Structure 1
């Protein structure tokens, strides 16, 4: 039997699969590594939350760690992992140099979740009421940090093919440092659809998304101010249920039962509420990566109405499971049609299954993921030799980050 290899995941937060797509993705990654004989320790400097998953139930060791503390050096030396996975670039900045110093042979992998610099630059352009240009990324402060982090790692998981192209063409990152890794789900067929609630068993529109995520909160505001009034003007009985973890007081104040606009807060089981809804509304105006809520809608057999940003990189050349529309009035009109036209709704469901089966095949990408890891474990020296910019940044950043961290460490002692 294959000997377990040790994998250390350093999380930005403890996984909350019911609160965010990032939490679901992390659990997908954990299951793939476990299926291939990795023994996993999940460490994080974050505080525990009431909604975090119980990692011990999944056979994962949990370890609380501190920022700017030599206790991490002792911990990682003793653990001596073969592979370290950083959850987002901010974690690599904090712990990457300590990993390099204490376990220089460990393979360092970055899971970007989405390109933060792309999301930030698009958000700025949106707020400044101008068109986003790819060249905006070159002056984005967070881009310098994120790209440096990608270069310092042996491999980065990129969730969107659009982002792979940006990294290669705008930032000139070598493709040997990037691995396309979308959401990973099981295949579906039309028999699976028949087990789900039918058109007539479903009611209401739904939006679902963590309120701490700025693109989600902006979408709820947009629904409230423009999209929903346009839908209600043509379809007065319509009801929209807005679900999401961590709603703010501002969000709760948007609850207007007489207008059919209901703020429901955290869903106990996101899958269940999406299965009961007839149409998902997601008029997302800025963001990056792939939208977990829209893939979840497909899995639940729930057609969705979204924008170009919402559907970006999610359905290469395949019909959407609903429609993609940027104009708010057209969006409202098509949302009503999708809600009321049973044939259109059923065909949209089938389009969702085709997208799942062609674009998010867990088995296909899991095999590629493990092959890449094994290849790095066998050829890390050659791989690193060809990543000169990475070793250059590793050398200088290790020094600067190290001494900043040492200074904080010393300050904390006093």
Structure 2
């Protein structure tokens, strides 16, 4: 029997613009491989970078916020599984799904823990160390409530699994560790990649709408790059990313080799041309797609503790992890100039992708867990009293606020 999946997207997927877009395409592939018919719905306007989902046989539907038209739509579709793209979509549409399709399994793809990212950003802004006073913020209250109201939440990083279980005391039965799901890197692919001598310059990449990425570029401009350039006067830093605004473009300095390249049509091509990837992330959460793209293309990296979080596990790094700017620069120079070290770090990157992000392993784990959740749905919900309580209280306020907005819009 054909199974139906409804994905409610915060945005339309843009795999060429962000790691989040790539992640969504990976999830779609998992469900398609398991025989699901997929409908992707979003209240967001489509940009030119949005992937044409219909080209891979996924139905595309525009939906409205605060409108009972969604109730009619979802009841008619009658999905077996509803995947909310980030907790905000569960807040908006979760109660409607519960009312119209009570037997649908509700899954959140968190992308990253928003409360963690925002808390770290605020601590950075305040010049303070990050602690629970920053973690337990208002976004956390909303995000954790969404996780409890759902049947399963997909967590992209082991570090975030630990925070949810140990800091927020969320029961492990509501969570599933599901990182990026990647094809294995074969010897054939490795041999076809450009070698050390065929590469030049540095690269950094990331969607500029994402504040940690813009901040990292600013940090490169003001602190890191002048120190690198002093020792490598002919080197260039190529900065790629979607949605480069005027404040980003004005950072360009050709004389200093600090070049804003903008949107990368093919991340693999630009990554393979570069010798070293720089990612001095000073706050953030989740997995950094730029590091995974770099490893996939044989480009060693220099990053920070926040940049590396959740990527390497117990394995060695495909470059260096440094928070001190002087040491960051020292190791960057070392990696850029030393072919033996570069080759060693490149090899480690291939090993990390193959051991920690195996598509086959994680696809199977996810589908098995989903099947188990669907089979024991009533029992799981009964055992999740906090979720029942939040369905009863929180969603009533969300529901009536939405109905009030809808009525107001009709005036």
TM-score range, shorter chain: over 0.9
Cα deviation 1:46-81 (Å, max 9, x = unaligned)? 011101000011110100000000110000000000
**Partner of residue 71, structure 1:** 69
Tell me how far apart the structure 1 counterparts of residues 204 and 389 of structure 2 sit (CA, whole Å): 45
What residue in structure 1 maps to residue 329 of structure 2?
A: 332
CA contact (8 A) 2:156 2:177 kept: yes
User: Where does residue 305 of structure 1 map in the other structure?
Assistant: 302
1:134-213 maps to which residues of 2 (within 5 A)? 134-138=132-136, 140-213=137-210
* Structure 1 residue 190 displacement after superposition: 3.7
Kept in 2: contact 1:190–1:350 (CA 8 A): no
Q: Deviations over 1:109-150 (max 9, x none)?
A: 000000000000000000111111134212x01000000000
Partner of 2:60: 62
Q: Distance in 2 between matches of 1:71 and 1:203?
A: 54
Tell me how far apart the structure 2 counterparts of residues 163 and 135 of structure 1 sit (CA, whole Å).
17
SS in 2 for 1:207: strand
2:376 match: secondary structure: helix
Aligned residue pairs, count: 411
1:365 equivalenced with 2:357 (yes/no)? no
Aligned match of 2:320 in 323, 326, 330?
Answer: 323
Answer yes or no: is the 8 Å Cα contact 1:8–1:85 preserved in 2: yes
Matches within 5 A, 1:211-360: 211-360=208-357
Q: Does 1:382 align with 2:384?
A: no
1:201 shift after superposition? 1.1
Contact 2:113 2:285 in 1 (8 A): yes
Where 1:246 maps in the other structure, the secondary structure is coil
CA contact (8 A) 2:122 2:134 kept: no
* 54-63 vs 191-200, which moves further: 191-200
Unmatched tracts of structure 1, length 5 or more: none
- 1:117 matches 2:108: no
Identify unmatched segments of 5+ residues in structure 2: none
CA distance in 2, matches of 1:282, 1:131: 21
Deviations 1:9-37 (A, max 9, x none): 00000000000000000000000110001
RMSD value over aligned CA atoms? 0.8
TM-score, scaled to structure 1: 0.98
